[in-house]
Structure 1
């Protein structure tokens, strides 16, 4: 049988309201009365009703994190940064996995209106801009990884355009001119940004951007596989492929191998995010390192500031990314050999 506040009051010979004050506002109760109540609590092993206490304090000590796909390895590191920082400040984290469903994203946001969380970190931004703006005006809200142009909300991300341009230029520096790109879903701003960075690099080096060389994936390994097969079936196929993320890059490498090609000897493949798998698969994948843990940590620090009512001096944080060069992109000599082989093949045909 559970112990009630009235049981504590009876043992301590005080009113139930006094027990409540000792738990929530001890400074209003004499030291002698506090000791009596605390002794009774210890003897009875009384556990205060958390929900009731939260209602009185108008806080839950809980934050909501909305994730587009909890199975994606990228988000596990971001979530670690959020959770470690939250726990240090006495908060717990509840996760809302939208599975890339915009309607479900809105349903999780409704938890704020139901007073089930004190604030929210969005790791996805597929909802209507006006809806997010409305929520951010009423509740502490931080947007991490993704962003929305023109939205006045605290944001933590990297410069995806710059990162995509950097890795495409690395392929160009190795001698590649026929560079394809497997994008993410084009309704996601990160996909559009990385495509923009790819285009910028190609145009700045006077290289043609062939529409057939741009294939849209859906973030998954399977789509990386299928889109790579499409690229390899072209009459004039690319010599290298920049893939939106490492997971799709793994699929692309498998497609190349299944087609009898060697990576990077026959075709180079690069990814993005620097997931753990990128340094395990053979060949190890050249990629862009996102500071995943730091993104989560910074997002939670911003949210703590907003929940405390503190005015933030800076709202937009762009963290530094890094090009990680591994075996999958090959070297200048590899590209030179491939171009020579390609030219020989043309003469034979």
Structure 2
């Protein structure tokens, strides 16, 4: 296994020069930098991570806490994080908050014990005060979710506006009895998407029926069970907005079980635009989140914190897109007629 001395000899430079190039510190001419990098590649030299940590007190490793690794929405966020992390020579560890043995104190301890350099939280389901206290002395970014009035770097979309947009799309197609399968009401996503749903009904002078608002938990089973309940009502809804795509897919499966056609008998829309949304039958109308960009921006903000760069702003709100497909019944002329 080649050593740093072998690299120096191969490049015909000093060990100190190789060290400065690899640690990106000190002054090295561009010519020598390229010579060293070429030698590293030719020798397939791998810097010793423990030695680097002992010299710099940095692990070049970050931790990402995901609320549910089984949820396909997070895969593109992780790709965005991983892509930029790889470019900057950082390793990424992933912790699944859905696991029964998950302890959010553990991830904070990893920061305090310097086992990782920084933390990206894709969930706000932790103690707010503890998280904000940790942010005072450690490098933490929150993505997808947020805390009100908190000075923690955050990347997300406007979930209220997006939920209002997709609900209004149903209303403009002349659906009058719109139900909502919410996310968990102990999460900001569940609360915000319900808020947007209600705003759309109110602004269009439609009643908010409490029986049409049922709490799910973002998985396909809850979408199935709640849709079965909604379609079993005497006065069933003619459209359903599920707070994520998995629940929307579960809702469509429940409709199939009850021999209710989507979208001819009931329209169904989702949220997130996971990969399966365009391949499902019927193809799912949904809100597309820029998941890769969310991950990339989160990692970029964390790198700024790690490099002690001043942040120009703390909250970044990225653009979402309404993606219209078959499941909303936009092609059904009878729904587009004013009644």
For the aligned pair, the TM-score class normalised by the smaller chain equals: 0.7 to 0.9
Distance (Å, rounded) in 1 between the aligned partners of 2:292 and 2:189: 18
1:253-273: CA deviations, max 9, x gaps? 000011011100000000000
Corresponding residue of 1:335: 335
Q: CA deviation at 1:100?
A: 6.5
SS at match of 2:206: coil
Q: CA deviation at 1:55?
A: 2.1
Corresponding residue of 1:218: 217
SS at match of 2:73: helix
Corresponding residue of 1:256: 255
Gaps of at least 5 residues in structure 2 are: 28-39
Corresponding residue of 1:89: 88
Corresponding residue of 1:266: 265
Q: CA deviation at 1:108?
A: 1.9
Report if the CA contact (8 A) 1:102-1:126 is conserved.
no
Distance (Å, rounded) in 2 between the aligned partners of 1:47 and 1:73: 33
1:109-150: CA deviations, max 9, x gaps? 221112111111110111111111111111111111010112
Query: Which has the higher Rg, Structure 1 or Structure 2?
Result: 1
CA 1:317–1:237: 2 relative to 1, 3 Å:
same
SS at match of 1:138: coil
CA 1:274–1:328: 2 relative to 1, 3 Å:
same
Matched, 1:189 2:188: yes
Q: CA deviation at 1:20?
A: 8.6
Q: CA deviation at 1:67?
A: 0.6
Corresponding residue of 2:155: 156
1:255-306: CA deviations, max 9, x gaps? 0011011100000000000111110011101000100000001111111111
TM-score (normalised: structure 2): 0.86
SS at match of 1:65: strand
Report if the CA contact (8 A) 2:96-2:102 is conserved.
no
Report if the CA contact (8 A) 1:270-1:286 is conserved.
yes
Corresponding residue of 1:176: 175
Corresponding residue of 1:104: 103
SS at match of 2:109: helix
Report if the CA contact (8 A) 2:220-2:249 is conserved.
yes
User: Alignment RMSD, CA only?
Assistant: 2.7
SS at match of 2:322: strand
Distance (Å, rounded) in 2 between the aligned partners of 1:20 and 1:115: 27
Report if the CA contact (8 A) 1:265-1:335 is conserved.
no
Report if the CA contact (8 A) 2:180-2:194 is conserved.
yes
SS at match of 2:201: helix
Distance (Å, rounded) in 2 between the aligned partners of 1:112 and 1:322: 36
Report if the CA contact (8 A) 1:286-1:328 is conserved.
yes
Matched positions, count: 314
Matched, 1:77 2:113: no
Matched, 1:206 2:195: no
TM-score (normalised: structure 1): 0.83
Report if the CA contact (8 A) 1:159-1:318 is conserved.
yes
Report if the CA contact (8 A) 2:159-2:196 is conserved.
yes
1:55-99: CA deviations, max 9, x gaps? 221101111111111111100000000000111111111111111
Distance (Å, rounded) in 2 between the aligned partners of 1:170 and 1:49: 56
Distance (Å, rounded) in 1 between the aligned partners of 2:78 and 2:215: 27
By percentage of residues, which structure has more helix? 1
Distance (Å, rounded) in 1 between the aligned partners of 2:266 and 2:173: 12
Corresponding residue of 2:37: none
